A and B are shown apart, each in its own frame.
Chain A
Amino acid sequence: MSETGKQRGAAIDLSAVSKAYGSFRALDDISLHVEPGEFMTLLGPSGSGKTTTLNVIAGFTEVSSGSLQVGGRSVVGVPAHKRNIGVVFQHYALFPHMTVGRNVAYPLALRGIAKAEREARVKRALDMVRMADFAHRYPSELSGGQQQRVALARAIVFDPPLLLMDEPLGALDKKLREWLQLEIKRIHRELGTTFVYVTHDQEEALVLSDRIAVFNRGKIEQVGTGRDLYDAPATLFVGRFIGDSTVLRGRPRGDRSSTALDIAGETVTAPHRHAGDTQPVLLLRPEKLTIRRPGSDRRDGHNRLSGTVSEAIYLGSGSKYEVRLRDGSTAIVRSPLTDTSFAIGETVELCFRGEDAKLLADDSTADTTLT
């Protein structure tokens, strides 16, 4: 809401932050740097520590150990109301006994801002979220999406250098959610404030974020742009959490320069070397696999796996197939529309280049946390 516009966001630095509840470590040695003005999404399944991280930044939860800086200043021990950070909650948290206008004016009144300026700023904030016509309504008279826009206006009206959003669209239906994602993106662009956004929805994370931090079991698995996470997942958990993927497991038979997996009698090789002590797996994105009828022309250097089509989904722009491999696991393939189509139950062959497979260590924990 500032007149000056851009470059008003605060940087955030979490360094070796831990939070323990008894013996349970909600946050386990988290370090994260957020650039001023960046849109950072904390992504992960429920209970992974992303909301705890947000609460730590907001000041609702104190860290057990580690340091936390906002805008270059340590805020450890600073109570929430002195941090000057905007927070948008999943449950809106509008004050039911105040009108929309008074809700948005609330943080300004606390700061002792004179009435005339207060009114002007409330109007500007409500304009920004396109809710100016609703200033005299009570929250109970608004729909969920409208309430969340008012909550957003209230969180930005006092010009905080940092805005935290905790699954703000979680309670809304899909269409409204998609529209509000674009609204949030626009507001982020217009304000230049640093946004930290918590979600468990990977599509939402990809739409909104400059960078995404993927949380799992109280740790950050990887921080990167959506493309980084999709093309070069650092862990199997990240690879499976972002986008569709096929995970190949098998008995390793590699030498030093490459990795070979024996999958129910079929051998695939990848030119990567894997560190000895963990079980290697290969992760493939759907578009890196090609599907074809068995016995078609052989292409050298390609790995081949046989299986049967268990699901065929027409996507408009192409088709998506789920193929049951010999070892019982499922592969996901996307093929362009021009290709031949395959029927459920049909025996097929999947091909991929070894260098397109991502070699990762098998963290079997990823299986239990993904539902």
Chain B
Amino acid sequence: MSASDAPSERAASPRRSWGPLALALPALVLLVAVIGYPLATIVIRSFTEPQAGLQNYSWFFSTPVNLVVLQRTFTISAWVTLVCVFCAYPFAYAMTAVGPKLRMLLTLCVLIPFWVSGVVRTLSWVILLQDSGVINSMLRSVGLDGVRLIRTQTGVIIGMAQVLLPFMVLPLYSVMKGIDLRLVQAARSLGAGPIRAFFTVYLPLSLPGVYAGAIIVFILALGFYITPALLGGPRSTMLSTLVQNQVLSLLQWGRGGAMGVVLLVATFLLLALAGPLMRQRHKQGTR
């Protein structure tokens, strides 16, 4: 009997052609020129300067401070990503739930930081976080002990999360606004309370947005330079600061290049691990 209800025929997929590729050509040329070429140079120099061989890599892995900083870079980036997820998730949800005018306002709140230079934003965090800054004055005025925020890992995480928040909010919002809220209603009718309905229906459907945002934020955080340099202390140095030190202060281009390559390879490894997870979600999430 069930065969009599055959699926309706699918629309034929448009034929693949190389034509549209021409549209991508200007951007491709630019990317190859400004990213591909310098990248290739860095990789080559890391193996050839001061002389050919693996000495830059053996230096990197045999110097304890490098490994500590590498690990710290990943730890801080993971924390920043986590903070961003927890701040951005309710914010992005609110963007889908409010009316058009409020949504405009919330979108502006996300975008305004993009229009302010990163240095300015970080310096304003210095004002807020420093020992005699706004936060500590407020704490003391209500009789609490001040906390040390500037030149600590916490300060760096706060500052970086603020800068990177839009990169989490926007992909989350774009996924969330595609979620059919009537599915949540259906879950309610089937016996799920609001919390169960959220965890069994809404959250799984929003995960592609979480993954996309998390990967963007994490990768951007790995390469962060200005914010950790200004908000952090010696104990919160990230890899980019070491690279800068090697290249600009010590003129060790080979060593700096090796550090960059290590970071790049580690990032690719992480992406390769996250990739299959995301593809699976994506397949299930299509309607």
* Residues in A whose Cβ lies below 8 Å from that of B192: 81, 106, 110
> In A148-194, which residues have CB < 8 Å from any B CB?
149, 154-155, 158, 176, 179
| Interchain CB contact under 8 A, A58 and B189 | yes
| Interchain CB contact under 8 A, A133 and B2 | yes
Write the nearest CB–CB distance from B154 to chain A, whole angstroms. Answer: 36
| Interchain CB contact under 8 A, B287 and A140 | yes
Of B7, B189, B205, the contact of A96 (CB 8 Å cutoff): B205
**Residues A89 and B186 in contact in the complex (CB < 8 Å), given A106-B200, A111-B191, A131-B2:** yes
Chain A interface category by residue count: 35 or more
Max chain A Cβ within 10 angstroms of own Cβ: one of B1, B5, B6, B286: B5
**Top 8 nearest A-B pairs by Cβ distance?**
A143-B7, A93-B186, A107-B190, A87-B189, A80-B188, A110-B191, A145-B5, A130-B2
Chain B residues packing against A (C-beta within 8 Å): 1-2, 4-8, 180, 182-183, 185-194, 196-197, 200-201, 204-205, 281, 283-287
- Please, how many angstroms separate the alpha-carbon atoms of A97 and B200 in the complex? 10
| Interchain CB contact under 8 A, A60 and B201 | no
* Residues in B whose Cβ lies below 8 Å from that of A342: none
- Interchain residue pairs with CB less than 8 A apart (5): A58-B189, A81-B189, A87-B189, A95-B187, A97-B205
A354 within 8 A of B: no
* Residues in A whose Cβ lies below 8 Å from that of B5: 143, 145-146, 149, 176, 179
A239 within 8 A of B: no
Write the nearest CB–CB distance from B285 to chain A, whole angstroms. Answer: 6
Number of A-B residue pairs at CB separation under 8 A: 95
Known pairs A81-B193, A133-B2, A158-B191; list 4 more (Cβ under 8 Å). Answer: A80-B185, A142-B7, A143-B6, A179-B4
- Please, how many angstroms separate the alpha-carbon atoms of A158 and B192 in the complex? 13
A79 within 8 A of B: yes
| Interchain CB contact under 8 A, B8 and A140 | no
Of A84, A131, A176, the contact of B191 (CB 8 Å cutoff): A84
Write the nearest CB–CB distance from B286 to chain A, whole angstroms. Answer: 5
Chain A residues packing against B (C-beta within 8 Å): 58-60, 79-87, 89, 91, 93, 95-98, 106-107, 110-111, 130-131, 133-134, 138-140, 142-146, 149, 154-155, 158, 176, 179
**Residues A97 and B285 in contact in the complex (CB < 8 Å), given A106-B200, A107-B191, A130-B2:** yes
- Please, how many angstroms separate the alpha-carbon atoms of A242 and B136 in the complex? 75
* Residues in A whose Cβ lies below 8 Å from that of B200: 106
| Interchain CB contact under 8 A, A93 and B284 | no
- Please, how many angstroms separate the alpha-carbon atoms of A264 and B281 in the complex? 70
- Please, how many angstroms separate the alpha-carbon atoms of A82 and B283 in the complex? 33
- Please, how many angstroms separate the alpha-carbon atoms of A279 and B156 in the complex? 81
- A58, closest chain B residue (CB): B189
**Residues A80 and B180 in contact in the complex (CB < 8 Å), given A139-B287, A144-B8, A179-B5:** no
- B284, closest chain A residue (CB): A97
